[in-house]
Structure 1
Amino acid sequence: MLLPMPDDRGSAVAEPLEDLDAVAAVYADRYFSAPDGDRAALRDAFVGACLPMAGRLARRFRGRGEPLDDLEQVARLGLIKAIVRFEPDRGSFTAYAVVTIRGEIKRHFRDRAWAMHVPRHVKDLHLAVRRTTEELTAERPHTPTITEIAERLGVNEDEVADAMVSGGGYSPMSLNSPVNGSEQTIELGDLLGGTDPALELVDDRVTVAGLLQRLPARERQMLAMRFQGNQSQSEIAATFGISQMQVSRLLARALAWLREAMLSDEVPRWTGASAAHELAGLDITSRGTNGVLTLRCRGEIDRDSARRLRAALRQAVAARPQQLTVDLSGVALVDAAGVAVLHDGVTAAERAGVRMRLAGVQPYVRHILDVSGLGTSF
C-alpha cells in the first residue's frame, strides 16, 4: 500500500517512487502531527511505499549463497530500522535508507551466512553429518567414525569427509585467535595487513565505472574534468565553448541519471539531448486535430527560450481548442524561468476554459515540475 499523495483536485495518486524523499517528507509531516492512534497506519503505509526499493537492494546480493527470500526479509528489517530512526532535518531519507538496508544485509552475511562459497548439496550434507554424529554419539559409547556416519547416511566415506572439511567455510578461524608457539601474545590478525577503508566502495566503484560507459562522450569528459581534474564549471565551459550555466545543467543531468541507475535494477534510458541539438535552443512546433492542439517542444526551457514558449502558449490558448497538449518528451531540462512560463500557461488556459495537459515528461523534468506544483497537469 502506497502513501496517498493528494492532488489539487482532491483525488489520490499512488505511484511507486524511485526517489522517496518527497513521500518521506509528507510522511514525516503527517506522522508527527497525527494522534498516537493513527501513527501505526501511517507508518505501515510508508513502509509499503518503500518495499520495492528494499527488494531491489536485496536482489543485488542474490547468487551469493543465501536464499533471496531471506535477503528480502533482512532488507525489510533494515528498511523498518531506517524509518524508525529517520530524522527529517538530518538529510535525504533515500540515501539514509539505502545505507541502512545495505548495512543490515552485510551484517546478515557476516553473522549468519557461510564465509566461503560451498555448493548447496555439500552444505546440506554437512548439516546431515552433524545431526548424525550427535545421534550416533548418544547411541554409542565412542565418537562415531567416518565409516559409521557414511553407513547411516547411505553415502560414501569421501563425501562425509568433504562435508566435514566444508564446515570450516561456515565458522572460519577468528583473526583474534592466538598464534601457536609464540612467546608473546600474538593474534592471527596481527600477522595480516590492515583494513582497507576503500574496500566497501569496490562494488559501487565497479558499478559506476560501467554506467559511465553508457553516458555520451561529452558528459563523460565533463564529469572527469570536474571530479578527477578538479576543474571549475567556468573552465569546463571554456573548453567546450558553452556557458557556465549549460555546464551546470549537463553535470546535474548526468549525476541525476547515475543516481537513478545506481538505485534501479535496470539501467534507465539516457534521455539527454545531443550536443548539437542542445545548443540550438528550443524548437516549438504545433499541430491541431479534432479539437486538440499540440505544442511539441525540443531542447531546453530556460530564461533564454522561455519568452518564445510564453508567446506560443498565449497564441495557442487564444485559439480556444478543446484541449491544449504540451509535449515535453524532447525537453531535457526546465529551469525556474521555464517553470514560471508553464505555470502562467496553465493559469491562462483555466481562465479561457481550455484544458491544458503536459505530456511525455522525462523523469528529471518531472521531478522539477512535481516540486513546483505542476504535477497535476501530467
Structure 2
Amino acid sequence: MTAHTAQTAGAERAESARSTPTREPVGDIGDLPWIEDAGKIAPPDARELSRLFFDRLQVLEEGTPAHQYARSTLIEMNLSLVRFAAGRFRNRGGGDMEDIVQVGTIGLIKAIDRFDLSREVEFTSFAVPYITGEIKRFFRDTSWAVHVPRRLQELRVDIARSKESLATQLDRDPTVPELAEQLGLSEGEVTEGIVAANGYTAGSLDMPADPADAGRRNAPGRTFADVLGGPDPAMETVENLHALAPLLGDLDDRERRIIDMRFGQEMTQSQIGTELGISQMHVSRLISRILRKLRSGMLVEE
C-alpha cells in the first residue's frame, strides 16, 4: 500500500467515524461528530479526529456540553498513548500497572488542556513527555520505603550519576569530597544525600543479621528482629525527672528543703521535725501537701 493510499484510507475511516453516529448524543454537541466508543478508534483515525476535536475545543465555551464532550472524547481516543508510555515502566516495579495507567492518564489530561494547534506540533509528540513525566513523578513519590524530602530524593539521583562518572575516571569509588566538588555542594550536603538514599529500599526484619548467613539455607543465625533493642525502663524515669525539675523550682525554700531532706538525704520524718522544730505529724502533712502539688503539676504537664 502506498503512502498516498494509506493516507486516503485513513481519511476515509476518520470521515466514516465523523458521519456515522451509532446513537443520539446527550446534550448539544454542536457540529462535532458523535462517537459511540472513542476508546475503540484505531490510532491513525484517532490522530485525524483529534485535530478536528482540538480545533473545535479551542472555540467552545468551557463547561458547555459540547466542550465536555470534546474533551472527554479526546481523552478516550488517546488512551493508547498512555498504555504505550506505561509499557516502558512495566518492569520498573513499585507500582501496579493499573495505577501506572491511571497516573499516566492524568498526564494525558494535562497535555490536552495545554495543547495548541497553532504550534504545528503533533499531539502525540506533545503529550508523551507529559504522560511520561507524570509516571516518573509517581515512582519518585511512592517507591521510597521511607519518606524523605523531595530535595534529597533528587540529590540521590545526582549523587548516583556523579558516582558512576567519577568511578569510571578514577577507576575506584569516589570519596565524599570528590563527589562534593563534582556536584558543587558541601561535604555535609553530600553526606546527607547518601544517608537519605538508604531510605529508598527497606530490608526485612527476618533477614540474617550476619551477612555471611544470607547465602546459606536454614541458617541458624539471628535475624535483625532478634537483635532489636527493647525500650529502656530508665527512660520513663528520665522523662519524669525532666518534667519534675521546673515544678521543684516553683516551690518555696522551705518546701524544697523538706523535699531534699526526705528524698535527697533520706531523713525520717522525726529527724526532719527535729531539724525544723516542728512535730512529726506536721512534717507528714507538709510532705503530703507538697507531693500533691507536684503530682498535680506532673499531670498537667502530660
Greater gyration radius: 2
The answer to whether the superposition gives a TM-score over 0.5 is no
After TM superposition, the score normalised by the length of structure 2 is 0.37
Structure having the larger proportion of residues in strand: 1
Normalized per residue, which structure has more helix?
2
